[in-house]
Structure 1
Amino acid sequence: MRTDDDFVAHVADRLAALPGVVAVSLGGSRAQGTHGPDSDWDFALYYRDNFDAAGLRAVGWPGEVSDIGAWGGVFNGGAWLTIDGRAVDVHYRDLTVIENELAEAEQGRFRWEPLAFHLAGIPSYLVVGELAVSRVLRGELPKPAFPDAMRTVAPPIWRRQADLGLRYARASYAPRGRVTETAGALATAAMQTAHAILAARGEWVTNEKRLLERAGLREMDTIITRLSPDSNVLAEQIDAARHILETAGA
């Protein structure tokens, strides 16, 4: 079996050789040194304007390969593969799109998009943040800093979304004893607030796996575990959560 370094080089070479690919990076925990022995491997292939997923399928690695656009939005597609017995994610990244998102972020503009496995969804500047924290393996890629404008603009937007969700839960879910709906609202608001805190710090977020830890919001676990169908309990815990989230990162 290949060593980790040989494995990375092997995958990077195969991806870089695909038609239209101009750069390949390693991201996620493997690039940042926070991985465990069972962590998967996150590769991104960068192209400009056009890439045909048929080329990746033709390599023959077992797994699922999506077409461009299948995942929607800026996070526009990729593959879940098994290579040399290792779990590998490959993400498609269009450099033209990313350059536009970087220009928008530098002006303090972004949008929110839903994405599987992300409670709060993702900001459109996520694909820019990937460049900042990834390790370039083949080709050349920019390494942008967190825009000053985004540090000012993003936090209140994220916090307003969190506040609206909790207000709705207080008015609609708590009186009806809706535990599941309340738990979902609390979890989503916690993630949104965490985005706000990290944006204010100028720290990139590329997924939600360690988001609450990084933002110092693990206390929300206690709130969630206290929920019960009692409407008074739900109201009390929503109020407690609002206090935690409104004061966090202040």
Structure 2
Amino acid sequence: MAGPASDYDFGLYYEPGAPLDVDALRKAVAPLVEDSSPMVTPLGEWGPWINGGGWLTIGGAKVDLLYRDLGRVREVIAEARQGRISMNYQPGHPHGFCSAIWMGEVATCRPLHDPFGRIAELKNETWPYPEALRDALIARFGWEVGFAISNAEKAAQRAEQTHVVGCAYRALCCMAQVLFALNSRYLINEKGAAAEAASYPITLEELAKAQIEIWSRIGNADAEGALLRLRNLANGMAVLVERVGSKG
């Protein structure tokens, strides 16, 4: 779903017994970048789920390097295939970092250099989309939609605008997780996820329009109207999940 304003993300996968040589990486990118001091971090710098990387500008384009430990990626994919996922705090992901993101990255990436076929081998584990993962995501995030809205409604009574916004965002992101799963699609970033989910075969027809209306109402201090619209979406999603049912 890349657009003209998208950056380029390069995943740098390494075996745990042979970690990346970050000093050599810095030297390799130095002649290419336009940044006077390009950011290339040590391993583990950005936390356990995005465990470091680089923010670069090359030829006028924004380029991100993202480190990935193949040992942990293999473990996460094996767990996800059994319907076991985790939701984790991670800077840059206000919705949270769902462990299944790593599986989705492998499923959707385009290998540029895979001399030992490690990524190709893991790709075989990601398709077809596992039914156990589908059911787990629907169960994990489906209930939270209504829970987030209820919290927002309580906050609205106290005029806590920031909390209303956070809960509304949470509800829409959880809704996107459910819709992605219903369509057997991997959600690898919450940015634009709700709008993308609105384009899928199994979706809520009014989702794209409703999302715009919800944020407009919140911006105009009409939390009650925004949350009523959001609650109607949640009710529609519940009906959709019940109609489609679980394949598992």
How far the C-alpha of 1:107 sits from its partner, in A, is 0.8
Residue number in structure 1 paired with 2:153: 170
CA offsets 1:60-104 (integer angstroms, 9 cap, x no match): 244211221122122212110122332110111111111000100
1:70 to 36, 45, 61: 45
Percent identical residues: 29
> Match for 1:164: what amino acid?
F
Alpha-carbon separation, structure 2, partners of 1:53 and 1:164: 43
CA offsets 1:196-233 (integer angstroms, 9 cap, x no match): 11012210111123211122232122022113787xx4
1:247 to 227, 233, 236: 236
TM-score by length of 1: 0.78
How well do the aligned residues superpose, as a CA RMSD in angstroms?
Answer: 2.0
1:128 corresponds to 2:95: no
> Match for 1:91: what amino acid?
L
Alpha-carbon separation, structure 1, partners of 2:61 and 2:226: 42
1:161 to 116, 132, 144: 144
> Match for 2:140: what amino acid?
I
Q: What does 1:51-62 align with in structure 2 at a 5 Å threshold?
A: 51-59=20-28, 60=30, 61=33, 62=35
Q: What does 1:1-250 align with in structure 2 at a 5 Å threshold?
A: 34-36=2-4, 38-49=5-16, 50-59=19-28, 60=30, 61=33, 62=35, 63-139=38-114, 140=117, 141=119, 142-143=122-123, 144-145=126-127, 146-171=129-154, 173-216=155-198, 217-218=207-208, 219-227=210-218, 233-248=222-237, 249-250=240-241
5+ residue gaps in structure 1?
1-28
CA offsets 1:165-188 (integer angstroms, 9 cap, x no match): 2211212x1111222321221112
Runs of 4 or more, structure 1, over 6 Å off, are none
Alpha-carbon separation, structure 1, partners of 2:176 and 2:13: 28
How far the C-alpha of 1:245 sits from its partner, in A, is 2.4
SS in 1 for 2:112: strand
How far the C-alpha of 1:236 sits from its partner, in A, is 4.2
How far the C-alpha of 1:40 sits from its partner, in A, is 1.5
> Match for 2:231: what amino acid?
R
Alpha-carbon separation, structure 2, partners of 1:115 and 1:238: 27
CA offsets 1:91-124 (integer angstroms, 9 cap, x no match): 1111111100010001100100123333311210
Contact 1:80 1:89 in 2 (8 A): yes
TM-score by length of 2: 0.79
Moved more, 60-69 or 143-152: 60-69
Distance 1:176 1:126, change over 3 A: same
Contact 2:49 2:97 in 1 (8 A): no
Contact 1:198 1:215 in 2 (8 A): yes
SS in 1 for 2:111: strand
Contact 2:88 2:99 in 1 (8 A): yes
Distance 1:92 1:247, change over 3 A: same
SS in 2 for 1:136: coil
